[in-house]
Structure 1
Amino acid sequence: MSSSTNTKNISSKPIKINKWDTNALKNALNDACKKYFKETLNYTEDYSVMDRRLYISLISCLFSLYALIYDWFNPFPKSRSVLIACVASYFIIAGILTFYMRFIENGRFFTGKLIDKTGIDPGQKCKIISKLKK
C-alpha cells in the first residue's frame, strides 16, 4: 500500500466537531496525529507510560478495597486505625498519581517506536505532547 493511498484513507472521512469546543478540537487533532503516525509512518505504540498510570491507580484502589473488606469483617470501632492508614495511603498515592500525570506524562498522548526492519539501526522513538492553553 503506497503512502498516497494511506493519506487518502486518513483524510477521506472528515471529522465534524463544534469549532467552539476547544477540548473536542484538541482531541480530534490528537487522534488524527496518532492515526498518521501509526498508519502512515508505521510506528508501533508504546503503552508503558499509560500502564504505569494504571498500576498507580490499581494500588490506590487496592488500599480502598482492603479498607472496605477489613471494615466489613471488623466494624468501625475495631477498624479505626486500619481505615485511617488506608485512607491516608489512598490520598498519598492519589497525590503521586497527580504528580506523575502532571510532570512525567505532561500531556503526552502518543509514544511510539519505529523498528528498523533490517535490524542494523536501533529503533527510533517518538513522543508527542499536546497542550491547550486557556
Structure 2
Amino acid sequence: MPEEGKVIRINKWDQVTVRNSLDDTVKEILNKKIGWNEYHSLFDGRLLISFIAVCFSSFAAAWHYIVSFEEVKPVLIVCSVGYFVTVGILQLYQWYVEKGCFYQAIENDGKVKRSWKWSSEMKSYDDKYMLTASYSQDNRFAQGNNTKSISAYITEDGEIVKRLLEVEIEKLYKDLLRNE
C-alpha cells in the first residue's frame, strides 16, 4: 500500500497497474480518512482453497519421491485430478463470490453495523474505471457506482491525484447513506 504523502507514479498505459494502483489508493483513503479496518474474509477463502490445491500437489510430489513410479501412479492420478478440480473451484470462487471485490470493511458506529464491499472494474482497452460500493445492514442492501475516465485521477506524468479520488469516494459513500 502506498505510504502517506508519497507521490505514486505509474505507467498510465498499463491497464492492470492502473487498476491495482487506483484500488490501493482507494483502500488507503478508506482506512485513513474514513477510519475503517479492512476485513479479509473473502481473501481468507481464496487462501484456503489455494492451500488445499497446494496440499494435493505437495502430497503427490512427496509420495512420488518416496515410492517408485509404478506404485505411485494411482496416487498421482488422484492428486492431479484433485488439484485441477480445486483450481477450478478457486476460479469459480473468484468469479462468483469475490466478483472483483478488493476491499471489505465493517462499519460500526455504535448504533448501526454495516458490512461494506468495494470493487472495481476496467474493461480491456477502455479508460473507464468503475468503482462500486455496496453495503448490507440487517436485511437492507444498497449499491452504487461511479464510472469515470482514469484521466480524472491520473495526471499526464502518471501521478495519481489522491485528492480527486477522495472526493469521489466520499460522494459515493454519502450518496449510499443518504438513500437509507
The answer on 1:130 being equivalent to 2:120 is: yes
Q: Map 1:87-106 to 2 at 5 A.
A: 87-106=80-99
Partner of residue 178, structure 2: none
Question: For 1:57-112, what per-residue CA distance to the aligned partner results, in whole angstroms no more than 9, with x for missing partners?
Answer: 00011111111121122110001111100000000000000100111111110001
Is the partner of 2:78 in helix, strand or coil?
helix
User: Taking CA–CA contacts closer than 8 Å with sequence separation of 6 or more, which of the two structures ends up with the larger relative contact order?
Assistant: 1
- Counterpart residue identity of residue 90, structure 2: L
Task: Name the CA distance, whole Å, in 1 between partners of 2:38 and 2:23.
Answer: 14
Identity %: 34
Query: Which runs of 4 or more aligned residues in structure 1 lie more than 2 Å from their structure 2 counterparts after TM superposition?
Result: none
Task: Name the CA distance, whole Å, in 2 between partners of 1:18 and 1:64.
Answer: 37
Task: Name the CA distance, whole Å, in 1 between partners of 2:119 and 2:10.
Answer: 21
The answer on 1:48 being equivalent to 2:18 is: no
Task: Name the CA distance, whole Å, in 1 between partners of 2:16 and 2:54.
Answer: 28
- Per mean C-alpha deviation after superposition, the further-off stretch among 24-33 and 53-62 is 24-33
Partner of residue 6, structure 1: none
Task: Name the CA distance, whole Å, in 1 between partners of 2:75 and 2:36.
Answer: 47
Q: Where does structure 2 lack aligned partners over 5 or more consecutive residues?
A: 125-180
Between structures 1 and 2, the one with greater helix share: 1
Task: Name the CA distance, whole Å, in 1 between partners of 2:26 and 2:121.
Answer: 14
Partner of residue 23, structure 1: 16
Partner of residue 64, structure 1: 57
Task: Name the CA distance, whole Å, in 2 between partners of 1:38 and 1:92.
Answer: 36
Task: Name the CA distance, whole Å, in 1 between partners of 2:11 and 2:50.
Answer: 33
